[in-house]
Structure 1
């Protein structure tokens, strides 16, 4: 009987232990398992997308400009000839890359002169990734502009609309499309930071009226278009100021007013010919004479008989066998714009066209005179 009692007590204790274990599991373990299951279910499902609504007006403008203008922008790759160490002939190697844009429906592509300066050939990649060998039409190194031509079907040619740069205002939005570091069809945005900057061309001549922007311009952007908020061309991106060689928020753009004056001449003649007064000058001689006299201006060495300067009565320098016999006229201003050296004279004349008349202020025998010269 005692054995039966012990067995019954043991069974009771086991039952009690089992009940306690079930309670512990129910209180402590089951909630954690349920929580983990629920967390796993939530983590395994995509979150609901929050409706965005319409784009902001400035975003609509930016995206529309890119969609409409990017097909006008091209990617340029250039090759140059180098001597082969294994053969007696030159071979072509990759030289660099840059950007450009379609000028008209005849396949003319505008870019920077320095992009093609060391190139023996160039290839143009269009918006649809089709590519064409390009022929060089001509260039103006003084303006860092060049024109290529490709034989692409008319339906692939989408000229960029032309704007104006003279009326630009500081703070105005600008949009640059190009191929920085070979990454084609890249858009950057910014504002006009300043106007009337001056940069140096590949020939050392000054390019005047340059637009300064803060849109990111990097290697490979050279030759690409700068656009206004109407999608019009307002300049050609050409240079940056940066200690590292990458964008530092200071970019420079050749103004479209200059581009629209130079490019048509390159297409027609293969080069740019500025309007002429019919004079001959020498920078070193002019600087030496004006410095000795203590005046500013450009000394006229010679005046062509059939030029506008001769018709206006201007006189050149008379030089004897060993010395100057008579100093010629010293040009000091064009239409009120002071002229102190040859570079300034050439930059000022480029604002005019053949047939225009300009007022010339000049120094003769220590007296200031005025004449009207018709440019040719």
Structure 2
């Protein structure tokens, strides 16, 4: 007889009469931050979708074309017209996609447009009654490191998963497989895994502030560093994709940097976009826009500061990009710069950007 069988029969009968469920300790109300997180998820969940892509393969022996599963990802409802936003790399190379809503309904999607340079794509589904609400749109130019963020998506096919974290850095750059560089990315420590791509990154008010796009991980799983395309970029690019099916960047051919621009504006009391560099042969060089200079004796010297483009005031880099997006490559626009304390009006013919 083993130790597990050594309780005397009379003692076992005595204990059996007293073997009852434990008394449950009342929990009380959920903490305020828990209630807020639950409310945010329940409100946003219906606007997040599961995307499954397929690929057409040709069998040379049977001469049959087959649709086979290719991958999965996430997306979210953009507007009331059935447009869904996701990452370009989620649907790149696919021949078809199915979009599944939180209520279980599934729809075949039509590709509206893509912008590989921003890793963004727009699909359209034919939703009739019971159309999901679009996510509210926030801003990203005023994000601060340390803000709480919430990511909803379908990692590893585990649908409608919520992870939380903070904004851990801003203005990151990430090269893509095509050689392009995605700029001004939000870095977060919210767990983002394969399948989260294309899903929304939300702030504590439930507003869209980014589109989860990639992770940095040697293992392929979340290592605490994820990236999201900022919503200011999304809100510029997506309307152009819906209207035209593609996005070609109009370009001045200058280099700017958001954080440095904010620091210079605060230090010098000048609202505008400081031109750090001018690309050779660019629209800016042809128009005579002057970059900043760095000398041994004088140190950093500001060049031109762009204060308006096309008649629209420019106070920060996001304003400049938004003003540019109202135009197309080849357009002639007026640019007003602050130069040596005086305003100078220039005429610039925009180039096609990357």
Tell me the matched-pair count: 293
The separation in 1 between residues aligned to 2:64 and 2:345, in whole angstroms, is 58
Hey, what does 2:18 align to over in structure 1? 42
Residue 353 of structure 2 corresponds to residue 372 of structure 1: no
Separation in structure 2 between the aligned mates of residue 83 and residue 350 of structure 1, nearest angstrom: 44
1:300 is aligned to 2:272 = no
2:184 pairs with 1:209:
yes
Residue in structure 1 matched with residue 169 of structure 2 by the alignment? 194
SS in 1 for 2:167: strand
After TM superposition, give the deviation of residue 331 of structure 1 in Å: 6.9
Is the contact made by 1:113 and 1:146 (CA closer than 8 Å) also made in structure 2?
yes
Q: 1:121 Cα deviation (Å)? A: 0.4
Q: Please say if 1:264 is aligned against 2:239.
A: yes
Unmatched tracts of structure 1, length 5 or more: 1-30, 280-295, 304-308, 317-328, 338-346, 363-369
Task: Measure the CA separation in 2 of the matches of 1:74 and 1:112.
Answer: 13
Post-superposition CA distance 1:199-241 (Å, at most 9, x none):
1234322221110000111110000000011111000000000
Question: Hey, what's the Cα distance between the residues in 2 that align with 1:142 and 1:81?
Answer: 25
Residue 80 of structure 1, aligned match among 52, 55, 62: 55
User: CA, structure 1 residues 348+242, in 2 after alignment: closer, same or farther (shift >3 Å)?
Assistant: farther
Q: Is the CA contact (8 Å cut-off) linking 2:289 and 2:304 kept in structure 1?
A: no
Question: Which secondary structure does the structure 2 equivalent of 1:158 belong to?
Answer: coil
The question of whether the paired residues in 1 share the 8 Å contact of 2:166 and 2:188 is answered with yes
What CA distance in whole angstroms lies between the structure 1 residues aligned with 2:322 and 2:291? 17
1:149 alignment partner, one of 105, 108, 124: 124
CA drift at 1:352: 3.3
Deviation per CA, 1:137-175, whole angstroms, max 9, x where unpaired? 001111000000000124232111101111111111111
Contact 2:80 2:131 in 1 (8 A): no
Q: Do structure 1's residue 248 and structure 2's residue 223 form an aligned pair?
A: yes
Between Structure 1 and Structure 2, whose CA radius of gyration is higher? 1
Cα distance in structure 1, aligned partners of 2:108 and 2:128: 13
The structural deviation recorded for 1:330 is 8.6
1:310-329 superposed Cα distances (whole Å, 9 cap, x missing partner): xxxx649xxxxxxxxxxxx7
Q: Match for residue 67 of structure 1?
A: 42
CA contact (8 A) 1:298 1:331 kept: no
TM-score normalised to structure 2 length: 0.74
Contact 1:114 1:202 (C-alpha < 8 Å) held by counterparts = no
1:78 Cα offset (Å): 0.4
Change (3 A) 1:86 1:269: same
SS, match of residue 127 in structure 1: coil
Taking the aligned partners of 1:252 and 1:335, their CA distance within structure 2 comes to 32
Q: Where do 5+ consecutive residues of structure 2 fail to align?
A: 1-6, 254-276, 293-302, 307-317, 328-332
Deviations 1:272-328 (A, max 9, x none): 233355x9xxxxxxxxxxxxxxxx742227x7xxxxx7xxxx649xxxxxxxxxxxx
TM-score between both structures, scaled by the size of structure 1: 0.70
How far apart are 1:351 and its partner, in Å? 4.8
Q: Does 1:114 align with 2:89?
A: yes
Q: Quick one: structure 1 residues 349 and 299, their matched pair in 2 at CA, closer, same or farther if it must change by over 3 Å?
A: farther
Instruction: Determine the structure 1 residue equivalent to 2:3.
Output: none
How far the C-alpha of 1:372 sits from its partner, in A, is 2.7
Q: Structure 1 CA distance, aligned partners of 2:41 and 2:197?
A: 18
Q: Secondary structure at the match of 1:51?
A: coil
* Offset from partner CA, 1:216-268 (integer Å, 9 cap, x none): 11110000000011111000000000000000000000000000010011111
Query: Using the alignment, how far apart are the partners of 2:49 and 2:59 within structure 1?
Result: 31
Please name the residue that 1:99 is paired with. 74
Contact 2:200 2:208 in 1 (8 A): yes
Alpha-carbon distance, 1:93 to partner: 1.1
Structure 1's consecutive aligned runs of 4 or more residues displaced over 6 angstroms after TM superposition are none
* CA pair 236-85 structure 1, distance change in 2 beyond 3 A: same
Could you tell me how far apart the structure 2 residues matched to 1:350 and 1:86 are?
52
